[in-house]
Every structure is written in C-alpha cells, then in structure tokens.
Amino acid sequence: MTEAVSISPARGFVAEHAHYRDDGGFWETHAVRLGGPVIDLGAAVGRTAIPIAALGIPVVAVDADPEMLAVLHERALHAGVANHITTLEGHMGACALPGDAALAIVPMNTLQVLVDADARMRAFADIARALRPGGEFIFDLSVPDLDDIGERLGHIIPTGEHTDEDSGAFLAHTAVYDAIDVDTRTLDFRVIIDRTFPDGTRAHDERHHHVHLYTPDEVRALVTGAGLEVVAVDAGFRGEPFDPQHSERQVWRCRRPGAHA
C-alpha cells in the first residue's frame, strides 16, 4: 500500500472535524436569538459560518489563513450562501473588526491560539468594541488540568474515529502532548490524523499547535477588563452547571452593556 500525499489543514478540515458534534446547533440557536450580523472568529472553512448563513443571517468570517478562507468561499458557493458571508483575513486582536455586531463567536477552543497576554487583552477589547449595545460574545474553552497533561506527556491519546462520507476514507484521530509550561500555561501538542482510503492508500497528517490554557478566573478578568458583563458560564452547550473543580469545558456568554436602539 502506498502513502498518499499529505492533505493541507484547509482541505482536510471538514473531514478531520466531522467527528466533533458536541456543539451541534448551539451557535445557530444564539444567532437566531440575537440576529445579525455575526462575527465568527477563527472561522476556518465555515464549520459554523455556513450553517448560520443558511438561516439568512449575515456573517463576517475571520481567519488568519487565506487558504482556509478560500475553501470557506468555495463551500459557501456550493451551499448557496456566499451572499450572506463576508470573509476577513486577519489575526484576532490584530485586525479591524466591523462594528454593530449582534453576536461574536469563537468556537472550538480557538481563543487558545492567543499565547501572548497582550494579544488576549487586545482581542477581548476589539471584540467588545465590535458589538452593538446588548450584543453578545460567546465562546468555549477547555478547563485545563495541568497535572493530568503533565502525566500524559509523550503518550499517544486516542481521540476518535469515523468514516468520511465524501471520500469513504476511515479516519483515526490521536493526539500527543509534547511540552507544557506551567508558569505561562502554554501547551505544545499534535493532532494526528491517519486516513485509510477505500483502495488501501494511506495518509498520515500531524497538526502542530502551541496554545494557551485559560483558567476560569483569567477569562472572567479578560471579560470584565474589556467592559463586558458575564451572562452565563456553563459546562457544556446544553446549559450544564459549571464546576471549576470538575468541569472539563467552560462555555461563556458575555454581553456589551446597554440596549440596541
């Protein structure tokens, strides 16, 4: 069996994330509740932007990777929603966001890419300014367990498997924690995807990530420092009660004070 050519993160994104369905319907529900426009930060290839746009709600899809945005546009055209999506290339905290947004979202731990403390403060402040009065900023993050991560450094951790409906490939997902800095709460890890195609061809891809792990107290300080108020903190996408000692996920709903005219 021959080894297939490596697949780029943008071209592989849809299949590589198809097994993650924890937040299914969550972002669309809040987009319908609040209306548009919606700013989707770290939009990648439109995992959340396209379903929201399919509801007739305008979306500004922001991502630092031009290939991700190119694939998003292709997918939006195919879905017939390209007229509802505006793409914006830029990094969180370092690009000019449009104002008067009803909702800003950062799904799938994407705020963790902000490893610099100043960048985190800038990003939260920029998002707050982009919201209309009464607009909301909603995002999810993991709750870090540094001791558990330290114990599993270098271990191969199975994270799921599924069959891609489009290609018929079987995808096995694993991850490896490579290094952690407990002082800065930064983590280096790899997401590994092994594909087996119907003809027996295989492909192996590794996505390297360098991220910051947020404590709930840190998030609250960033939210309030940006002039936002906390509406709710849940442990999941169905309103599960949050326990900072035991919850594995933190889902934040924050609001810019005031009422939209």
Three-state DSSP class for residue 152? coil
Question: 242 and 183, same structural domain?
Answer: no
**Distance separating alpha carbons of residues 243 and 44, to the nearest angstrom:** 30
Decide if 3 is inside a domain.
no
Q: Report yes or no: 200 and 176 within 8 Å, Cβ to Cβ.
A: no
CB 43 within 8 A of CB 72: yes
Where residue 5 falls among pLDDT bands split at 50, 70, 90?
A: low
* Amino acid in the structure at residue 76: A
Q: Is residue 62 part of a domain?
A: yes
Same domain, 199 and 223: no
240 and 139 together in one domain: yes
- Quote the DSSP letter at residue 90: -
- Please answer whether residues 189 and 176 qualify as being in contact, where contact means their C-beta atoms are separated by less than 8 angstroms: yes
Same domain as 130, residue 229: yes
Q: What total of structural domains would you count in the chain?
A: 2
Q: What pTM, to 2 d.p., does this model score?
A: 0.94
Q: What would the mean pLDDT of 22-37 be, rounded to a whole number?
A: 96
pLDDT tens column, 200-222: 999 999 999 999 999 999 999 99
Q: How far apart are the C-alpha atoms of 65 and 206, rounded to whole Å?
A: 17
Same domain, 184 and 84: no
Quick check: is 80 in a domain?
Answer: yes
54-102 per-position pLDDT tens digit: 999 999 999 999 999 999 999 999 999 999 999 999 999 899 999 999 9
Distances (CA, A) of 179 to 109, 111, 151: 18, 19, 11
Type of residue numbered 200: G
% of the chain with per-residue pLDDT over 70: 97
Whether residues 101 and 173 fall in one domain: no
Q: Are residues 26 and 97 in the same domain?
A: yes
With respect to residue 260, please indicate whether it lies within any of the assigned structural domains: no
Q: CB burial class (10 A; 0-12, 13-18, 19+) of residue 80?
A: exposed
Range of the domain at 65: 10-143+215-255
- Write the CATH number for 232: 3.40.50.150
User: Looking at the structure, do residues 15 and 74 belong to the same domain, yes or no?
Assistant: yes
CATH of the domain at 174: 2.20.25
Instruction: Judge whether 149 lies within some domain.
Output: yes
List all residues 6 or more positions away from 234 whose beta carbon is below 8 Å from its beta carbon. Answer: 240, 241, 242, 250, 251, 253
129 and 164 in a common domain: no
